[in-house]
Amino acid sequence: MEDGSLGSGPSGWRRRELGVGFAGLAGLAIGARGRWALAEDPIARWRAEWPRTDFGRTTVPLSEIRDGGPPRDGIPPIDRPLFLPAEHPPGLDDREPVVGFGVEGDLRAYPLRYLMWHEIVNDVVGEVPVAVTYCPLCNTGIVFDRRVDGRTLSFGTTGKLRRSDLVMYDRQTESWWQQFTGEAIVGSLAGAKLAMLPARLESWAEFRERAPTGRVLVPENRRLRPYGLNPYPGYDSGRMPLLWDGPLPEGIAPLARVVVVGEEAWSFDRLRERGRIEVGELVLSWHPGQLSALDASRLPESREVGSVRVQRRHATGVEDVVHFVTFAFVFHAFTPDGRIHR
């Protein structure tokens, strides 16, 4: 794989990642292999590239889906994840963000420095088959149960985007799935939904503190990608999202971080100011110590954004609630009638 290749996902941007603006990046990507909507009939091309996908079954207009540059699995998922004990530091900065997830005492951390370059990890945690997913353009990390109607699916990347969000596919039927919603939007499984599982976007130090006997994902080949570098430098400090030309939310910056619970979202700024917000049985809290994965070219040099924890009180204590962090424009794009608490 050549460092300058534009057809292999973020790794193809390696030579430009230290200071090229997104306008230039987007312009270069548009010229790569003619993979943008510059093609006269992209849907006809998709049918030829995806002969097993049933394009006659959709839940969204196909016109909303666009080529993202890389081909199928050009951003390669991880299918055989390797882990080290959390007590053996794998060279991560304490403040680096990880997706923390566990089932019945099997606790695992998935660093964004790796998810950035792979976007999907097909794993089995506590005997539960899961897909740990991350979309950099949306800054959205979500863990799904891979079981649907008695069948266990495995996932890859289509190289497509909808509303700037990752479109995945399952290898069993080659249906296409929206990462933000967990819904199959094209193919024989269109309309099916993956169950979201409670997970935390937290710092590496936070994970180690709460799960000292947990494990952390490490790359099979450290030379496969420039792990620790951010291929989208300055993205979350920009004024406008990348590859999104739809409506934007009012009264909040499009790239402001929000934490989503169902059809409601709370801005990080509001949580940072208050420290803790209680809504009925729901408890949201903000904690310092986590870096942005989408700021500086080198992740350890990024600015701090902090972590958010979302839990629900019950008779015997508290438990984590399904939630995820994203950008305000993404929440608005997929939940136009939802409410952002600013």
For residue 8, what pLDDT is reported?
37
Name all contacts of 112-115 with Cβ < 8 Å and 24+ positions apart.
112/141, 112/293, 112/299, 113/227, 113/228, 113/293, 113/299, 114/78, 114/217, 114/218, 114/219, 114/227, 115/141
Q: What is the pLDDT of residue 316?
A: 85
Residue 328: closest CA among 273, 276, 259, 274: 259
Residue 17 forms part of a structural domain: no
Q: Is residue 328 part of a domain?
A: yes
Our CA dihedral for 93, 325, 209, 90, rounded to 10 degrees, sits at -30
pLDDT of residue 40: 61
* Beta-strand relationship, 264-267 and 307-314: unpaired
Q: How many domains does the chain have?
A: 2
**Could you give the CA distance from residue 168 to residue 326 in angstroms, rounded to a whole number?**
18
112 with 212, same domain: the answer is yes
Is residue 71, in this structure, part of any structural domain at all? no
Q: What gap in Å lies between CA 211 and CA 288, rounded to an integer? A: 18
Look up the domain containing 290 and give its range: 235-341
pLDDT along the chain (342 residues), means of 10: 35 35 38 43 91 97 94 96 90 96 95 98 97 98 97 98 98 98 98 98 97 95 92 93 93 97 96 95 96 96 97 90 97 96 93
Query: Do 242 and 176 share a structural domain?
Result: no
Tally of residues, the chain: 342
For residues 122 and 185, state if they share a domain: yes
How far does Cα 239 stand from its chain's mean position? Answer: 20
249 and 212, same structural domain? no
Res 317: pLDDT: 87
Question: What is the identity of the amino acid at 166?
Answer: L
Amino acid at 131: A
d(Cα 296, Cα 290) in Å, to the nearest integer? 14
Q: Does residue 31 form part of some domain?
A: no
Boundary-marking domain end, from 189, 218, 247: 218
Task: Determine the Cα–Cα distance for residues 267 and 21; give it in Å rounded to an integer.
Answer: 26
Of 218, 245, 271, the residue at which a domain comes to its end is 218
Instruction: Report residue 192 as tokens.
Output: 């099916």
Shared-domain flag, residues 184 and 265: no
- Tell whether 196 and 305 lie within a shared domain: no
Neighbouring CB atoms inside 10 A of 292's CB total 21
**Domain presence at residue 52:** no
Report if residue 69 sits inside a domain: no
Q: Of 218, 244, 278, which marks where a domain is finished?
A: 218
Residues 186, 265, single domain; the answer is no
Q: Is the pTM of this model over 0.85?
A: yes
145 in a structural domain: yes
Place of tokens 């430009």: 16
Same domain membership, residue 327 and residue 213: no
Q: Exposed/middle/buried for 206, CB within 10 Å: 0-12, 13-18, 19+? A: buried
Say if residue 186 is in the same domain as residue 143.
yes
CA distance 205 to 95: 6
* 90 and 129 belong to one structural domain: yes
